[in-house]
Amino acid sequence: MLMGNCLLLILWCLLDKSFVSPMHSSAQSKLGKEHHRGLRDQRRHGLSGLHRVKRGWVWNQFFVLEEYMGTDPQYVGKLHSDLDKGDNLVKYTLSGEGVGSIFTVEPTTGDIHALRSLDREEKPYYALRAQAVDVLTGRPLEPESEFIIKVQDINDNEPKFLEGPYSASVPEMSPVGTYVIQVTATDADDPTYGNSARIVYSILHGQPYFSVDPKTGVIKIALPNMDREVKETYQVLIQAKDMGGQLGGLAGTTIVNITLTDVNDNPPRFAKSIFHLRVPESAPVGSSVGKIKAHDLDLGKNAEVEYSIVPGDSSSMFDIYTDEQTQEGIVVLRKPLDYENRKAYSFKVEASNPHLDSRFLHLGPYKDSATVKVSVMDVDEPPLFSRSSYNMETYEDTPMGIVIGAVTAEDLDIGDSPIRYSIEWRKDDENYFDIDPVEGTITTSEALDRERTAKHNITVVATKVNNPLLYSRVSVTISVLDVNEFPPELSHPYEAFVCEDAKVGQVNRIYH
Ligand SMILES: *[C@@H]1O[C@H](CO)[C@@H](O)[C@H](O)[C@H]1NC(C)=O
Ligand SMILES: *[C@@H]1O[C@H](CO)[C@@H](O)[C@H](O)[C@H]1NC(C)=O
Ligand SMILES: [Ca+2]
Ligand SMILES: [Ca+2]
Ligand SMILES: [Ca+2]
Ligand SMILES: [Ca+2]
């Protein structure tokens, strides 16, 4: 029978049956050669992993421990033929992967050795062929036998985070258990044997804020109410350890930068309850009176502030709008001011967040209010005429020096300066009129001729005595009336005068 002459390879096997080749599945041992010391030691010490895998006698596998550090070649196993009677007439030969460079066989004893250390992570097994040859005839004594030398794993690779370092973000105020990111470590060691590649994740730095699932590497929020406004970024250190996390396992770490993103959990707040603004009474409508600010600790949209003036006594005088850049409230004048009329205004302003998050409404209300007091500042203003323009009439034969009307201007400022009047000289017009510098009364200085000029336009200037740079101008139109339109008996001299206490701009004419 063929099997009776078979070349037997014998060893203690720790591995699954998939390595058993059908052509060598049978036969019992005639030679129980001891396997190398490394495996024997493992067996004796009963390493935990060994209890999990199947044991059995397998005839076509040798094992060699990876990363062997000994000085002598590592003993792998022994070839033996039934036909070998120990009389040195049988020679053993090897061929296949690594023969010569890695594996050698002692021709007479059949002892196989590995010449150098092997790395399972580089090549896990070698396929070889053995043969027993008659020394005298050189003929094979039996068919060639195939077998495998399997490189036995040791735990020489630590778990590695190939995608690290990581960065992730999660909204602040997220509930405990909120997913942040999953980290994954890989271990190059044999996942089918022992625990060399069995990874357990743990968090070395980052508690109590975050947790990591030992099996999946999923990082989650571990502390409620984490507030971005208190701390925005966290550097979390995650460890992956093989040997199921046991003492003696190899470990790798990775950094996970976690940033809390903003939610609207802060209302805008005025730094003070009263803001004082000052504005000159001369400020034009639409101009800025000043700025107020409500601070919002949030970011972006969540920190946008809308301002409004609470309706009240002074609310119609001012507007407020938001400066998009600074989120300040700009108070703007809506109506003209007059210091002499009203010196101060006070109104209430409300600041609110337009973009609310319903989940955090209980942390609100998302608004605040403050009082704005506006002081109107006096400005030295030019004199003010009692009218915007004046119309006067006179007869063409009015004698010179007769008063035909008067203008009045007043200084409304605190100083109440006296006023001086004058007629603005105009190149294209002859000077027909005089004005009393103190009284503002206008008289003719030349005979008027209606046929030549029926209407005279003059400009009267009022100047403040205590500040000549401040003056106002007003136009006065004087119509010249025709005397011939009147009956002769009415054409006798008449007189016009202005009463001492005349109302401003009032022109009095009395006919006789
Ligand atoms: C993590 O944060 C640190 C410190 O802020 C920084 O130096 C590093 O580049 C960050 N790493 C990643 C992956 O963002
Ligand atoms: C006088 O002023 C009136 C109104 O300002 C104008 O219509 C008129 O043409 C002016 N007359 C002269 C002579 O300047
Ligand atoms: Ca290795
Ligand atoms: Ca290994
Ligand atoms: Ca906010
Ligand atoms: Ca926030």
Lowest mean pLDDT across 353-357, 372-376, 491-495:
491-495
Asked whether the predicted pLDDT for residue 372 surpasses 90, the reply is yes
Q: Which of 86-95, 124-133, 445-454 has the lowest mean pLDDT?
A: 445-454
> What residues are neighbours of ligand 3 (ion), with CB under 5 Å?
119, 121, 156
Ligand 1 proximity of 244 Cβ (cutoff 6 Å): no
Pick the most confident of 93-97, 142-146, 405-409, 416-420: 405-409
CATH node for 384-490:
2.60.40.60
Q: Tell me: domain 166-261, CATH 3.90.1300.10, correct?
A: no
Q: Which atom of ligand 1 is nearest to the CA of 233?
A: 5
Q: Which residue has the least CA distance to atom 6 on ligand 1?
A: 257
Separation of CA 66 and ligand 4 centre (Å): 7
Ligand 2 midpoint to CA 475 (Å): 9
Four-residue CA torsion sign, 194, 197, 200, 202:
positive
Q: Ligand 2, from 387, 429, 450, 455: best to mutate by most atoms within 8 Å of Cβ?
A: 455
Q: Which atom of ligand 2 is nearest to the CA of 457?
A: 1
Q: How confident is the model at residue 22 (pLDDT cuts 50, 70, 90)?
A: very low
Average pLDDT of every residue of the chain: 82
Greatest alpha-carbon pair distance for the chain in Å reads: 180
The pLDDT value recorded for residue 308 is 95
- 3-class SS of residue 361: helix
pLDDT at position 59 over 80: no
What's the pTM value of the predicted model, to 2 decimals?
0.63
Return the pLDDT at 61: 78
pLDDT at 511: 40
pLDDT category at 13 given cuts 50, 70, 90 is very low
pLDDT digits (tens, 9 = 90+) for 245-266: 888 899 999 999 999 999 999 9
Contact 158, 242 (CB under 8 A): yes
Contact 291, 273 (CB under 8 A): no
Residue 232 CB less than 6 A away from ligand 1: no
The arithmetic mean of pLDDT across residues 321-335, rounded, is 94
Nearest alpha-carbon partner for 234 in 177, 170, 175: 170
Residues 495, 402: contact at Cβ < 8 Å?
Answer: yes
Å from CA of 457 to ligand 2 middle = 6
CA of 331 to the centre of ligand 5 (A): 22
Determine the pLDDT at residue 31.
29
Q: Is the CB of 259 under 6 A from ligand 2?
A: no
Sorted by where each begins, the domain ranges of the chain are 2-152, 166-261, 269-377, 384-490
> Based on the number of CB atoms within 10 Å of its own CB, is 363 exposed (0-12), middle (13-18) or buried (19 or more)?
middle
Q: Domain 2-152 - what CATH class? A: mainly beta
pLDDT band at 395 (very low <50, low <70, confident <90, very high): confident
Task: In whole angstroms, give the CA distance from residue 442 to residue 462.
Answer: 13
Question: 132, 92 in Cβ contact below 8 A?
Answer: yes
DSSP β-bridge partners for residue 221: 210
- The residue with greater pLDDT, 472 or 30, is 472
The CATH superfamily assigned to 269-377 is Cadherins (2.60.40.60)
Q: pLDDT tens digits for 194-211?
A: 899 999 999 999 999 999
Per CATH, 166-261 and 269-377 having the same topology is answered: yes
Residue 164 in contact with ligand 1 by CB distance below 6 A: no
